[in-house]
Structures are given as structure tokens and as C-alpha cells.
Chain A
Amino acid sequence: MSSADLTNERDLPPGRETSATGDIAPERDGPRDTGMDDASLHRWLARTWRTPPGIIGALSSVDHKVIARRYLITAFLFLCLGGLNAVAMRVQLSGPQRGLIGPDLYNQLFTMHGVTMMFLFAVPIVQATGIYLVPLMVGTRNIAFPRLNAFGYWVYVSGGLFAWVSFALSMGPDVGWFAYVPLSGPEFGPGKRADVWAQMITYTEVSSLAVAVATIVTVLKQRAPGMSLDKIPLYVWALLVTSFVVVFAMPAVMITSTFLILDRLVGTHIFNPAEGGDALLFQHLFWFFGHPEVYIIFLPATGMVSSIIPAFARRPAFGHLGLVLSLIAVGFLSFGLWVHHMFATGLPKLGASFFTASSMLIAIPNGVQIFCWLATLWEGRPVIRTPLLFVFGFFFTFVIGGLTGVMLASVPLDLQVHDTYFVVAHFHYVLIGGSVFPLLGAAYFWFPKITGRMMSERLGRWHFWLAMIGFNAAFFPMHIVGLWGMPRRVYTYPAELGWGNINLFISAGAVLFFVSFVLFAFNLVHGALRGTPAGDNPWDAGTLEWATSSPPPSYNFARIPVVTNVEPLWAEREALPVAAGLRVDARELIVSTVAEAHPDVREKSATPSIWPLLAAIAVGATFLYSIFTPWAIIWGAAPIAVTLVGWFWPKGDPEDEE
């Protein structure tokens, strides 16, 4: 597409002129970037887009990169905590009848492990990666709704602290990450532990939903001129589909946890079969969220794979359209599988068979993705660097997880392996193989962009092999011990069942796997402090995030790029085409049309504000208090309302007024 097409107004909605008339104050125009020299442009933009100094300034930041960095670091810390949970459990299980950890603590440990890994690590880290990369990849200056995005982070971090402080006070949830009723209900779940689970879930998912909406709008409305639907990078597609899945799946878990807290707190009977409720309703609602949740974690990882492979195979992804359609198909199909978590509940056989078929079906779009990646790699002998090694690790492990998933989809077969260590093995192969390995690859791949420095390649290779060996040693034997009859979530097992040796082996593998993360942490710190400077585009990759400096300036791009290819930097080797005409004294960015990405509006992006933090505190305090009394909702309403009004009330900046 030539740049002349972009100024053509044929696809713009009518009524463009009328909006500029009426009772509105005239625009107080400011300096524009047109014709401005680079040094002045930088000075203007840096002053306009900076995060204010000082602690209050830092807490007010709405820069998507600052927020994303906080998310990434927080999520990594939660990963370490969840990993320590796992190591503690493996020590207890390393031999039969070990008395190191009693059932009370053990049940909290595996619940916290699941809750932390799912809600505080996996979902936030894939969303955080998106918060960092999506605005850069679509060529805009900030995420849509930057204050909502900041609010999301504060909610997330306070929700995580809430769960972990409860755990430290021995009030941690102990009913498993899916907290089935009646075990978590008012009659069999005494104390506040299940309430902590319910309110923490509802609360932290607010953050996930906020990020999802911000991501969707960023992708739909803030793409650089010319980035029509067919030129959106695959990673951005993956995040877009994931965000839609979040929007339709997360409400289910919030409804589930809200129903649970109502049953527990005010005596409703929604899940009580003695009074017309039903225990299985909980499972239907939970897994309507719970299965898509797996894809919420997995789809962004496929986007990472789709970014890393083209960079090292030195060609655009093979079957771009097929990959996009597969993403969308997986997004839809993920809502049709939830019952395969419930085969053992004794549902009618015919209905269960339908879910076997639908669970098998989702393997097809996933297969398409795998085959397209392999075909991309067949371009020639790739340069093997650490990011690509982790992609190989992803293939090695995720395909195993996918195939055992096919086994679980079979109703009769599932009845033998459901709720055993076979399933534990399966979902760790899917989640670690399918998501964590790509994430680690992505860390090596995008670390230079985020910090401006490279991570050590030598340590990276050590890290990779340690992680691969540790992971497979820990999780492959779990398939076997599951088939030997070992159920999951047991804090001990009798010696005469013969599971002792294999469990010792598993525990050793788990420790090795944990050590690989220690090495990774060292490599991160070492790279950030001592790594060799990276330059703008160390891998010579083709997407827009590599067009700006490393790390990117607060305003991302001095001028907004104009996109002519799905890999714009490969197509425009000499000079990147850019747009001019934005104000530099206010946070202006380009809002474009949904399909064609024609520039449509010069919209202002929100300025830094402390109110999102205050609003998160008000909402968080209300949730915390609501564990003890339903009246918390009444008392909390006033502070929440005040902080929200403070958030949205205009302060007189040009960003507010025009």
C-alpha cells in the first residue's frame, strides 16, 4: 500500500466534519512535530511523556512500559514463591510416610501453588508481556486507557499480597485451586480460608479484565497507519484473541467465586443440594472459565513462538493467515471443552461423548500451528541462539502435553487417569512446556529491548539444558506413577504401594528444575548490569518494537511509523516511513480505523495520576473487609465512588480538555 492511500478518506465514517462544531472550546493548538529536528523533538516528547519524579510520581505512572516492568518483576517473584511451594511439596513426597509437612500445611501449599501459578504468575505475566510489547508492535505511544492499566497492576499486586499474607498467617486457602463445593462451602470449609480464595479470585480477575479491555482497544484502535488486519503481527493477534477469551471467560470465575462467598457469608443456597442448589453447578461454572484459562496462558505463548521463529529462520512465518485463523479457532473452541474436566462426575454418556469430540477437535488448529512453525523452520539451517533453543524445548515438551491431552479427551481413558499424577504431568507439560518455555525464550529475545543489554548466551545454554533435564526428570515419571494409581493432592502415601523410588527421582528432578530458575535469575541480573549493549535491533527482527531504541523512550516512537508490510523493518531497510503532524506538548497519539488502520483522530492519552492507586486501595480494602461482613460493600461504596470521581474529574490538562 502506498502512503498516498492512507490519506484517502474513503473508509472513514461519515460525519467527520460535524464533530468539530458545536459548543466546544476551540483547540488551543500547540507545537507540532512536523519538520522539527530530532533533538528538539526528543526534548519536547520526553518532557510531555515522562513519568513524574519522586515517589508520588512513580506511583502515578501510566507509562505502559513502566507498568509492564512492574508486572513482570512481580509475576517473577510470585513464580519463585509458587516454585518454593512446589519444592516443599516435593520434599514431603520424596519418600513414603514422610512426616515433614502435615496435611493442614500441605493442603495450603498445593492450593497456594495452584492459585499463585495460575492467577498470580501465568495470566499476569502473559498479559504483562503484552502490555509491554503490544503498544510497541502496533506502533503507538501508550496502551489504551493507561490509568485503567495502572489500576490493574495495583489490584493485581494487592490481591497477590492478600493471598500470601493470609498464607503466612495460616489463613491460606486449603481447598485446591478449583475449590470445589461442598468442601469449600459453609458447612465443610470452616474459618476464613475459603473466603480468602473466593475474594482473592474475584478481586485479582478485575485486573485481568482491565488489561484485556485495554489490550483489545489498543489493537483495534491504536494501530499505526497502514497496519491493516492482514499486517498485524502474529504476537499481537495472539494477545487480541487471548484478551477476547479473557473477556468471556473471567466473568465465569468471578460469578463462581461470588456465588461461593454469598453461600458462605449471607447464607444463600446456590450450591446446597439440600435446599434446591447443586454442587455440580459450581464445577460447570468454574470450568467454563477454567478450560479457556489454559488457552489464556497458552495463546500468548504461541504468539511468542511466532515472533521468535521468523527472527531466527530469517523469513516471515509460513502460513500467516492459517496461524491467525488457528488462533481464532482455538479461542472459540476453548469454550466448548469444559466438561472434559468433569467426566468422572457421572454425566450422561452421550453428552460426555460430545465433549470427547470437541476436545479432539481443538487439536486440529493446534496442529496447524505446529506444522506452520515447522515449515517456517525448514527455510534453511537456523542460527541457534537461546531464544530458539527454548522454542525447541517448547516443541519437545508441549507436543507431549498435547498428545496426553488427546488421551484425556477420551471419556473411558480419562476415568483411569483423572485426578491422578498422570493429569499433573499432563498439565505441567502443557503449561510449562507450552507456556513457560516460550516465555523463557521470549525473555532472552526481548530482554535486550527492555534493558538495552544482552543476556549471557553461555549461561542461557546452561539454563536451557538444566531446565529441560530438570523438567522432564520431574514430570515425565509422573505419568507413570499416575497410572500406577497415585492420586493427586495426597500429602503422603503408604510404602507398600511401591511409589517411593520414583517419587524420590521426581523430587530430585524438581530441585534441578528449581535450580535452573536460580541460574535464570542470575542471568537476568547479570545481563541487566553487565550485559553487552544491544542496539536497537540485535536479532535483525522485522516487527516495529525493534524500530525504536533499546530501551524505548517514554514516548516509544519519535514519529509514528507508517506500516507497509507484516514485517515492516524487513520491508523498509533504508528508512522507515513515518507520519507527521502530532502535537508535542500534549500526549497525542493516532487513533485509526478498525480494519484498515486509516488515521482518523488525534486523540490525547491520559496523563499520570495517583487516583488509580487510591481507587485500587479503596476497592481492595472493601474486598478484604467483605471477608468478615457483607456490610463491607455498603461501607466501601463511598470511598470507591470518591476515588473514581477523582480519577475521571478533569484537572485542566490539555489531555483532559480536548
Chain B
Amino acid sequence: MNQRPVLDISDLPTFGHGPRSPTWWGTLGFMALEGTGFALAAGAYLYLATLWPNWRLSAPVPNHWPGTIVTLLLVVSLVPNHILNGYAKRCAMGPVRIGMVVMSLLGLAPLVVRWFEFPALNIYWDTNAYGSMIWVLLGLHTTHLITDVGDTIVLTVLMFTHHGYSGRRFGDVGDNVFYWDFVVLTWIPIYLLIYWLPRLG
């Protein structure tokens, strides 16, 4: 087919931050499907909780302290996370490197405390359906946490190499910030479901 040029796009930039970048939309897509998974798992838990009048099924109440510490750590981590985002937008290598190291450490810290959360549930996954569901919820979020922390660490290493001096990499840092917000956000309802819902019954 014959063509006639009508538009010159040679001046367009080669990368964009946030919603300008397809990667950001892809991240959003994966959040949507992971969020749906979490919502359905939480829905299954609530379904069983309403089905049985004596929910918790005479299991002991979980010890909420490790979970509460994880929650506090995650909420606190949002502050450096967003400071990092500002530097990533400005493509400032020095502060971004510091920020990535800080976020890697702030990712590892709740993972360490998470280790103590499982025994603090005071029940095993194979005792009854209540135990199964709270292990599943905690397990789902732990998987989430591990994969994102792994991703953060790899990106941190990458930012210390010459590959880091690229608009794309700073965009990746921005998307990592975005995803961490999501990891924190999904934890709040799960925290309430695991530790506080059983105290109502």
C-alpha cells in the first residue's frame, strides 16, 4: 500500500516513568491478578468462618505480636520507599543506590520476623480448616514477600553496575517502588483476618 508520512516522532523520548511506560501497566496487571487471588483466598476464609458458628474450631488464639511487628515494619518501609521513588524519577544514581540498599534491608527484616509468625499461629495447617486457611493466607503473602525482596535485591545489584545508567533501569526502580506498596497494602487485610478476626469469635 502507498504511504505518505504525516507525522514526525523522532523527538520522542526513549523511556517514560510511571503510567507512560508499558512496564508500569504490566505491573498493574499482575497486581490485579494477584490481588484477585488474595481476595478469593480471603473470601474462602470468610466463607468458612461464616459457615461454622464456632469458627476458630476451638483452636487457641494466635499470638499477634510477630504479625504486628511485621505490619509496623512494612508500614514504616513505605516512607523510604517513596523517597526512593522521587530520586528514581530524577534519575539520581547516588541516592537511588542508597535507597535500593535500604529497601533490600527493609524487605529482609519483615521476612526474618515472618519466620516467627508461623509458630505464633498456635495451630498447624493440618489440624483443621481454620488452621489450613490461616497458614494458606500467611503462606501466600510470604511467597509474595520473598519474590519481591528477591527482585529488589537483584535490581539493587544491577544499579551498582554500568547497566544502571539507563532511563529504563530508573523506570524499573520506580516500578519496584510501586510493587512494594502493593505488597504492603495486601498485607493489611490479611493481618486483620489472621490475627484479629479469630479474636471476635
Q: Are A221 and B25 in contact (CB under 8 A)?
A: yes
| Pick from A148, A254, A267: contact of B37, CB under 8 Å | A254
Q: Mark A573-610, 1 if CB is under 8 A from B, else 0.
A: 01111111110000010110010000111111000000
Is A13 engaged at the interface, CB distance under 8 Å to the other chain? yes
Name the residue on A nearest B38 (C-beta). Answer: A251
Name the residue on A nearest B163 (C-beta). Answer: A650
The docked-state distance in angstroms from the alpha carbon of A281 to that of B51 is 10
**Chain A nearest CB, measured from B96 CB (Å):** 8
Is A508 engaged at the interface, CB distance under 8 Å to the other chain? no
**Chain A nearest CB, measured from B95 CB (Å):** 10
Query: Which of B10, B20, B133 has most A Cβ within 10 Å?
Result: B20
**Chain A-chain B contacts (Cβ-Cβ < 8 Å), number:** 246
Is B7 engaged at the interface, CB distance under 8 Å to the other chain? yes
Q: Are A275 and B129 in contact (CB under 8 A)?
A: yes
* Known contacts A18-B90, A25-B166, A599-B12, A575 near B26 by CB under 8 Å: no
**Chain A nearest CB, measured from B165 CB (Å):** 5
* Known contacts A577-B7, A650-B163, A281 near B128 by CB under 8 Å: no
* Known contacts A582-B9, A657-B168, A217 near B29 by CB under 8 Å: yes
Is A288 engaged at the interface, CB distance under 8 Å to the other chain? yes
Q: Are B22 and A591 in contact (CB under 8 A)?
A: yes
* Known contacts A23-B165, A580-B10, A601 near B4 by CB under 8 Å: no
Is B118 engaged at the interface, CB distance under 8 Å to the other chain? no
Is A285 engaged at the interface, CB distance under 8 Å to the other chain? yes
The docked-state distance in angstroms from the alpha carbon of A575 to that of B2 is 4
The docked-state distance in angstroms from the alpha carbon of A574 to that of B3 is 8
Q: Are B9 and A275 in contact (CB under 8 A)?
A: no
| CB contact list, B79-137 vs A, under 8 A | 89-94, 125-133, 135-136
Name the residue on B nearest A548 (C-beta). Answer: B1
Q: Are B9 and A22 in contact (CB under 8 A)?
A: no
Q: Mark A263-299, 1 if CB is under 8 A from B, else 0.
A: 1001111101001111001001100100000000000
* Known contacts A27-B14, A559-B5, A22 near B30 by CB under 8 Å: no
The docked-state distance in angstroms from the alpha carbon of A252 to that of B40 is 7
Tell which of A309-317, A443-451, A611-619, A641-649 binds the partner: A641-649
| CB contact list, A242-273 vs B, under 8 A | 247-248, 250-252, 254-255, 259, 262-263, 266-270, 272
Name the residue on B nearest A547 (C-beta). Answer: B1
* Known contacts A6-B7, A278-B51, A248 near B166 by CB under 8 Å: no
Name the residue on A nearest B44 (C-beta). Answer: A281
Query: Which residues in B have their C-beta under 8 angstroms from that of A18?
Result: 89-90
Is A97 engaged at the interface, CB distance under 8 Å to the other chain? no
Q: Are A600 and B17 in contact (CB under 8 A)?
A: no
Is A144 engaged at the interface, CB distance under 8 Å to the other chain? yes
Q: Are B22 and A217 in contact (CB under 8 A)?
A: yes
Is A419 engaged at the interface, CB distance under 8 Å to the other chain? no
Name the residue on B nearest A588 (C-beta). Answer: B14
Query: Which residues in B have their C-beta under 8 angstroms from that of A267?
Result: 125-126
Query: Which residues in A have their C-beta under 8 angstroms from that of B34?
Result: 251
The docked-state distance in angstroms from the alpha carbon of A217 to that of B29 is 8
The docked-state distance in angstroms from the alpha carbon of A536 to that of B136 is 54
| Pick from B10, B37, B170: contact of A255, CB under 8 Å | B37
**Chain A nearest CB, measured from B35 CB (Å):** 9
Query: Which residues in A have their C-beta under 8 angstroms from that of B47?
Result: 278, 281, 284
* Known contacts A23-B92, A217-B25, A276-B129, A581 near B8 by CB under 8 Å: yes
* Known contacts A248-B36, A576-B3, A23 near B12 by CB under 8 Å: no
The docked-state distance in angstroms from the alpha carbon of A225 to that of B19 is 17
Q: Are A579 and B6 in contact (CB under 8 A)?
A: yes
Q: Are B9 and A602 in contact (CB under 8 A)?
A: yes
Query: Which residues in A have their C-beta under 8 angstroms from that of B93?
Result: 22-23
Q: Are B10 and A603 in contact (CB under 8 A)?
A: no
Query: Which residues in A have their C-beta under 8 angstroms from that of B168?
Result: 656-658
Q: Are B57 and A276 in contact (CB under 8 A)?
A: yes
Q: Are A144 and B37 in contact (CB under 8 A)?
A: no
The docked-state distance in angstroms from the alpha carbon of A34 to that of B5 is 9
Q: Are B126 and A269 in contact (CB under 8 A)?
A: yes
Query: Which residues in A have their C-beta under 8 angstroms from that of B154?
Result: 645, 648-649
Q: Are B30 and A600 in contact (CB under 8 A)?
A: no
Is B198 engaged at the interface, CB distance under 8 Å to the other chain? no
The docked-state distance in angstroms from the alpha carbon of A13 to that of B89 is 14
Q: Mark B133-170, 1 if CB is under 8 A from A, else 0.
A: 10110000000000000100010001000010111101
Is B188 engaged at the interface, CB distance under 8 Å to the other chain? no
| Pick from B20, B41, B90: contact of A13, CB under 8 Å | B20
Query: Which residues in A have their C-beta under 8 angstroms from that of B1?
Result: 536-537, 547-548, 569, 575-576
The docked-state distance in angstroms from the alpha carbon of A23 to that of B3 is 39
Query: Which residues in A have their C-beta under 8 angstroms from that of B150?
Result: 641
Q: Are B12 and A24 in contact (CB under 8 A)?
A: no
The docked-state distance in angstroms from the alpha carbon of A567 to that of B104 is 50
The docked-state distance in angstroms from the alpha carbon of A235 to that of B44 is 35
Q: Are A216 and B22 in contact (CB under 8 A)?
A: no
Q: Are B37 and A251 in contact (CB under 8 A)?
A: yes
**Chain B nearest CB, measured from A244 CB (Å):** 8
Query: Which residues in A have their C-beta under 8 angstroms from that of B130?
Result: 276
Is A222 engaged at the interface, CB distance under 8 Å to the other chain? yes
Name the residue on B nearest A214 (C-beta). Answer: B26
| Pick from A254, A270, A576, A648: contact of B133, CB under 8 Å | A270
| CB contact list, B12-65 vs A, under 8 A | 12-22, 25-26, 29-30, 32-34, 36-37, 40-41, 44, 47-48, 51-52, 55, 57
The docked-state distance in angstroms from the alpha carbon of A275 to that of B167 is 54
Q: Are A602 and B126 in contact (CB under 8 A)?
A: no
The docked-state distance in angstroms from the alpha carbon of A221 to that of B18 is 12
Q: Are B125 and A600 in contact (CB under 8 A)?
A: no
Q: Are B40 and A144 in contact (CB under 8 A)?
A: no
Query: Which residues in B have their C-beta under 8 angstroms from that of A220?
Result: 25
* Known contacts A217-B26, A575-B1, A209 near B33 by CB under 8 Å: yes
Query: Which residues in A have their C-beta under 8 angstroms from that of B165?
Result: 23-25
Query: Which residues in B have their C-beta under 8 angstroms from that of A6?
Result: 7
Is A3 engaged at the interface, CB distance under 8 Å to the other chain? yes
Q: Are A22 and B132 in contact (CB under 8 A)?
A: no
Q: Are B16 and A600 in contact (CB under 8 A)?
A: yes
10 tightest CB-CB pairs across the interface, nearest first?
A22-B91, A581-B10, A268-B132, A276-B129, A3-B6, A23-B93, A267-B126, A575-B2, A213-B29, A277-B129
A-B pairs with beta carbons under 8 Å apart, 26 shown: A6-B7, A23-B93, A144-B26, A212-B33, A217-B29, A222-B22, A255-B44, A259-B44, A270-B48, A270-B136, A275-B128, A277-B132, A575-B1, A575-B3, A576-B4, A579-B8, A579-B9, A580-B5, A580-B9, A590-B9, A599-B9, A601-B16, A601-B21, A650-B163, A657-B168, A658-B168
Q: A250-B33, A276-B57 are in contact. List 5 more A-B contacts (CB 8 A).
A: A13-B20, A209-B33, A222-B22, A225-B7, A275-B127
* A interface with B by C-beta (< 8 Å): 3, 6-7, 13, 15-16, 18-25, 27, 32, 34, 144-145, 148, 209, 212-214, 216-217, 220-222, 225, 247-248, 250-252, 254-255, 259, 262-263, 266-270, 272, 275-278, 281, 284-285, 288, 536-537, 547-548, 558-559, 562, 569, 574-582, 588, 590-591, 594, 599-604, 641, 645, 648-650, 656-658
